[in-house]
Amino acid sequence: MSGIEPVLSVRELAKSFGGVRAVQGVSFDVAAGEMLALIGPNGAGKSTCFNMLGGQLAPDSGAVTLLGRSIAGAKPREIWRRGVGRTFQITATFASMSVRENVQMALISQAGGAWNPLAPARARHVAAAEALLAQVGMLEQAGRACGILAYGDLKRVELAIALANGPRLLLMDEPTAGMAPQERIALMALVARIAKAEAIAVLFTEHDMDVVFAHADRVLVLDRGRLIADGPPHAVRNDAGVRAVYLGTDDGAEGA
Amino acid sequence: MLDLILTQMLNGMASASSLFLVASGLSIIFGVTRIVNFAHGSLYMLGAYLAVTLVGAFGPASPLGFWGGILLAAFLVGLIGIVIEVVILRRIYQAPELFQLLATFGVVLMVQDIALAVWGPEDRLGPRAPGFKSFVMILDSRFPSYELFLIAVGPLVLGLLWFLFRRTRWGTLVRAATQDREMVGALGVDQRLLFTSVFGFGAALAGLGGALQLPREAVTLHMDLSTIAEVFVVVVVGGLGSVGGAYLAAVLIGVLHAFGILIFPKITLVLVFLVMAVVLIVKPYGLMGRKPAATLPGAAGIEPLLTPATPGAKLAGLAALLLLAAAPLAVSDAWLLTLTELVIFALFAASLHVMMGPGGMASFGHAAYFGLGAYGAALAVKWLGAPMEPALLLAPFLAGIAGIVFGWFCVRLSGVYMAMLTLAFAQIAWATAFQWVELTGGDNGILGVWPSAWAVPKAVFFYLTLAICAASVLLLRRLVFSPLGYALRAGRDSPLRAEAIGIDVMRVQWAAFAIAAFAAGIAGALFAFSKGSVFPTYLAIPRSVDALLMVLLGGVQTVSGPVVGAFAYIGLSEQLVKLTPYWRFTLGLAIVLLVSLFPRGLVGGFLAWRDRRDAGDPAR
């Protein structure tokens, strides 16, 4: 990745809760079009790390730079405006709206039109919303309520919402949690395809090692708040330190 | 000067004790059952009334008669609490929190009429406490020794509560249930017994608080609502669920009140309001409160898809509007007045619905904005000599500005916290109208707020009202389906997601709050001109509950619901008032029954029934 300015650059990120150092001294870069996996056992600090990048938590110290400008401590809505799309570990969508309206809402907000108190919202950005839904394979279900969708479908809707601001960076916290194995591979293949086609940097956490080794260009391993490995999947897989603290002796283990 | 400050300080501390007893009971009950007991002020009132009767019967002169009467009154209120819990609340623990609040308000209404029937409308004065009739000299002023006793009661009860919660099995269970109800249930604790005993205990505390006031002040039928408003302020300032915070806040509010009377005798509550505002800015969940755990998504049931009206529904709406427009041809002037009021209340309900439905913000003080609209109009007429037209134009802005100021605080909280804060603000607005006699005429209100000559005929005023209200309701409806309305709904459905797509949830809610207040102000201004007068009752708690009932009766999740609810509710209550002098009891009973039978409201219930029927269709 040398020579190209990274999309996201994280330096010496740290966060403590009371006396617990959840994240300390974490530094890494993500380049455009790169799929970067952040893995580690439960309690390693993945979600804390993610919430600091997404603005849900403010870091105690450290720098977070998006396209050359600092976003450390910025609010989630400001980070969205700077071109970051976000999906959550437990899907967060608008249950009283249809699938199409969910994406329309994101597009309306992106276009700065959310303060309009009079125009009918359903007529806004219909084509763009449907194009995004087609991209994630949810166009057939555009009219259904989000409250009644299957979980795997909700994950796709979330992806479409996260893509609505034409992001330069996608933050995906456990994008395949709760999905069937076949669905997982399909969803991440879709994400990888979109990331490559639109040069979006993707940072994701994941428990399923099959997904990680199939789709990540690079893997970061977090253990007790510290980064213990950073490299291509095969190197990380064979890293003795990683095997010891994370994978255990059997490389089929899934973050027990 | 120094002695004056000291005596006022002690006075404040003395009234803080009773406030603390009631507030701690409310807090403990909330901690375990998650119900904000609106009827807690009623239990306080019952404690005072029962003490009057019992002490009188036992002989107020003997210490045994007096203190026995006080304690027995508290015990009986505890029993009444147990009956309320077993008969009513036990059935609605699974209902949405707003319905629980409403059910307890139904109890408030019922208790009011029971107290009226048993003790009559006159204020009752209690005897002095035997052994505490003397005065203590503090510096140069005489200070009643009973006050000193009361000051000691607060810390004493705080200590006892601490002992109870830290050193007994029951107290440990209560603390455990406050932290994790499900886990306590999973461990095999009999939850029913725990809930009932906690409710009885909290009720007894409120009863004791009321009974102890006997030597200090007259017992009146208004004690319930004035107390509950103050207690809500205490609980919001201290932090819901924190007994220590309740004591701290009770002392703070009590002392402030005492000094407020010295400094601003007209508007003592303004001081309290300012302190509450400062506390909430610094610590949104109160001095010793913690941010409540987010309510589980789907806990209140899955939100149905909100869709614009079908052509059929639009036709029905148009037909109803035409029918209303034709009414002056067919009905008498008396009926026309009722219809005018109905139309005004439909707008009032629709304005609250914007906040409650799409906004997910429950307001227990929406009458403040209705009343401020009415007072805005009346004040413009009385003090500026304005005719109806500019007064109607100006008045909603008074309500809107209040909505902007109060809303700024309210949107920082959520759920029951917010509901309590809206109620506290409404009570402050009410107290201002009530206490600032020079400006508002106090209890006598402002008379002579009549329409301009052209609008005096009942039919003309009806058409004016219908035009303004129908246009406003349609605009509010349009708002719900606009991008702003969607953003509002987005913030309700998932604040996390809304913020992550660039929506400033708090500001959107703030805007909706202000819009709702403005619209309520329009309704209030029209109401002032239709009645020709304004009174403090326009902004009182019962009017806020009227609005809530109209919305909930119609159904929160539907847009047409509040309008239907307004017609159903006002129609019903007007008939009730004609039928029985004890209409409050009947209304309260009706509320309790409605909450247990139709937790989705009338239109909501109809839509659910239709969905079930449609879902059943293919099978046939």
Which of B53-62, B73-82, B429-438 ranks highest by mean pLDDT?
A: B73-82
- Cβ within 8 Å of B, A 42-71: 54-56
Query: B529, B464 in Cβ contact below 8 A?
Result: no
| A74/B275: higher pLDDT | A74
Helix H, strand E, coil C: the string for B557-579 is CCCCHHHHHHHHHHHHHHHHHHH
Judge whether residue B360 has pLDDT over 70: yes
State the pLDDT at residue B296: 38
Contacts of B500 in chain A (CB under 8 A): 54, 76-77, 80, 86, 88, 92
| B118/B419: higher pLDDT | B118
Contacts of B484 in chain A (CB under 8 A): 114-117
Judge whether residue A14 has pLDDT over 90: yes
Judge whether residue B127 has pLDDT over 80: yes
Contacts of B306 in chain A (CB under 8 A): 96-97
Q: Which of A92, A113, A147 sits opposite B496 (nearest CB)?
A: A92
pTM for the model stands at 0.86
* ipTM for this model: 0.91
State the pLDDT at residue A67: 92
Judge whether residue B3 has pLDDT over 80: no
Whether chain B has a CB inside 8 Å of the CB on A122: the answer is: yes
User: CA-nearest residue of chain A to B303?
Assistant: A96
Min Cα distance B309 → chain A (Å) is 13
B217-257 pLDDT per residue, tens: 889 998 888 888 888 889 888 988 788 999 999 999 888 88
Contacts of B485 in chain A (CB under 8 A): 117, 121
Phi, psi of B582 (to 5 degrees): -95, 50
Which of A215-229, B464-478, B592-606 is least confident?
A: B592-606
Q: With cut-offs at 50, 70 and 90, classify the pLDDT of residue B459.
A: very high
Min Cα distance A112 → chain B (Å) is 9
Q: With cut-offs at 50, 70 and 90, classify the pLDDT of residue B603.
A: low
d(CA A8, CA A51): 15
Cβ pair A147:B305 closer than 8 A: yes
Strand-pair partners of A243: none
- The closest of B521, B610, B602 to B564, measured between CA atoms, is B602
Judge whether residue B110 has pLDDT over 80: yes
State the pLDDT at residue A249: 52
Mean pLDDT of B375-388: 93
Mean pLDDT of B587-597: 83
Cβ pair A145:B304 closer than 8 A: yes
State the pLDDT at residue A203: 96
Mean pLDDT of B344-362: 93
Whether chain B has a CB inside 8 Å of the CB on A83: the answer is: no
Range of the domain at A234: 8-83+167-247
Tally C-beta pairs within 8 A across A and B. Answer: 122
Query: A97, A145 in Cβ contact below 8 A?
Result: yes
- The CATH number of residue A231's host domain is 3.40.50.300
A69-114 pLDDT per residue, tens: 999 989 999 999 999 999 998 889 999 899 999 999 999 999 999 9
- The closest of A188, A101, A207 to A136, measured between CA atoms, is A188
Mean pLDDT of A159-171: 95
Q: With cut-offs at 50, 70 and 90, classify the pLDDT of residue B437.
A: confident
Interface test with A, best of B501, B505, B558, B607 (most A CBs within 10 A): B501
For residue B140, the surrounding DSSP H or E stretch is: none
d(CA B255, CA B268): 11
Judge whether residue B602 has pLDDT over 80: no
Q: With cut-offs at 50, 70 and 90, classify the pLDDT of residue B597.
A: confident
- Mean pLDDT score of chain B: 87
Cβ pair A117:B306 closer than 8 A: no
Judge whether residue B298 has pLDDT over 50: no
Going from N- to C-terminal start, the domains of chain B cover 16-221, 322-540
Contacts of A88 in chain B (CB under 8 A): 496-497, 500
Q: Which of B486, B492, B500 sits opposite A121 (nearest CB)?
A: B486
Cβ pair B484:A117 closer than 8 A: yes
State the pLDDT at residue A63: 94
- Cβ within 8 Å of B, A 177-216: none
- For chain A, the domain total comes to 1
Query: B493, B304 in Cβ contact below 8 A?
Result: no
Mean pLDDT of A3-25: 88
Q: How far is CA B195 from the centre of its chain?
A: 23
Mean pLDDT of A135-148: 91
Give the number of C-alpha atoms closer than 13 A to the C-alpha of residue B386, restricted to the C-beta side: 17
Cβ pair A96:B493 closer than 8 A: yes
Q: With cut-offs at 50, 70 and 90, classify the pLDDT of residue B303.
A: low
Mean pLDDT of B181-207: 89
Cβ pair A76:B500 closer than 8 A: yes
Interface test with B, best of A105, A122, A158 (most B CBs within 10 A): A105
For residue A216, the surrounding DSSP H or E stretch is: none
Burial B332-349 (b: 16+ CB within 10 A, else e): eeeebbebbbbbbbbbbb
Judge whether residue B613 has pLDDT over 80: no
DSSP string, B86-105: HHTGGGGTTS-HHHHHHHHH
Q: Which of B302, B308, B496 sits opposite A88 (nearest CB)?
A: B496
Whether chain B has a CB inside 8 Å of the CB on A7: the answer is: no
| B282/A154: higher pLDDT | A154
- Mean pLDDT score of chain A: 89
Cβ pair A97:B306 closer than 8 A: yes
State the pLDDT at residue A180: 85
Distances from the Cα of B333 to the Cα of A3, B343, B524, angstroms: 85, 15, 21
Q: At what angle do helices B367-383 and B505-531 cross, to 10 degrees?
A: 50
Give the number of C-alpha atoms closer than 13 A to the C-alpha of residue A98, restricted to the C-beta side: 19
Sign of CA dihedral B82, B83, B85, B90: positive
Whether chain B has a CB inside 8 Å of the CB on A164: the answer is: yes
User: CA-nearest residue of chain B to A102?
Assistant: B490
Q: Which of A56, A105, A122 sits opposite B490 (nearest CB)?
A: A105
Judge whether residue B619 has pLDDT over 60: no
A30-40 pLDDT per residue, tens: 999 999 999 98
Is A116 a domain residue? no
- The closest of B289, B286, B425, B433 to B361, measured between CA atoms, is B425
Cβ pair A95:B493 closer than 8 A: yes
Measured between alpha carbons, how far apart are the two ends of chain B, in Å? 85
d(CA B260, CA B9): 11
Mean pLDDT of B261-285: 75
Contacts of B518 in chain A (CB under 8 A): none
Which of B133-137, B174-178, B440-444, B484-488 is least confident?
A: B133-137
Whether chain B has a CB inside 8 Å of the CB on A166: the answer is: no
State the pLDDT at residue A1: 44
Query: A97, B305 in Cβ contact below 8 A?
Result: yes
| B303/B75: higher pLDDT | B75
State the pLDDT at residue A69: 92
Query: A219, A231 in Cβ contact below 8 A?
Result: yes
Cβ pair B497:A96 closer than 8 A: no
d(CA B275, CA B237): 9
Cβ pair B501:A56 closer than 8 A: no
Whether chain B has a CB inside 8 Å of the CB on A106: the answer is: yes
B514-552 pLDDT per residue, tens: 999 999 999 999 999 999 999 999 998 889 988 988 888
State the pLDDT at residue B293: 56
Q: How far is CA B586 from the centre of its chain?
A: 19
Contacts of B503 in chain A (CB under 8 A): 77, 109, 114
Is A186 a domain residue? yes
Cβ pair A96:B515 closer than 8 A: no
Look at the block and give the residue holding tokens 């020579």: A3
Beta strands (DSSP E) in B364-516 are 446-447
Query: B199, B85 in Cβ contact below 8 A?
Result: yes
Contacts of B302 in chain A (CB under 8 A): 95, 147-148
d(CA B527, CA B374): 7
Mean pLDDT of B318-322: 90
Cβ pair A96:B511 closer than 8 A: no
Min Cα distance A214 → chain B (Å) is 28
Q: With cut-offs at 50, 70 and 90, classify the pLDDT of residue B295.
A: very low
d(CA B176, CA B183): 8
Cα Rg of chain A, angstroms = 18
Query: B49, B115 in Cβ contact below 8 A?
Result: yes
Strand-pair partners of A205: A38
Whether chain B has a CB inside 8 Å of the CB on A9: the answer is: no
- The closest of B357, B367, B366, B218 to B300, measured between CA atoms, is B357
- CA triple B36-B41-B47, angle to 5 deg: 130
State the pLDDT at residue B306: 76
Q: With cut-offs at 50, 70 and 90, classify the pLDDT of residue B571.
A: confident
Percentage, residues of chain B above pLDDT 70? 94
DSSP string, B349-375: HHHHHHHHTTS----S-THHHHHHHHH
Is A15 a domain residue? yes
Min Cα distance A236 → chain B (Å) is 32
State the pLDDT at residue B601: 63
Q: Which of B485, B494, B501 sits opposite A80 (nearest CB)?
A: B501
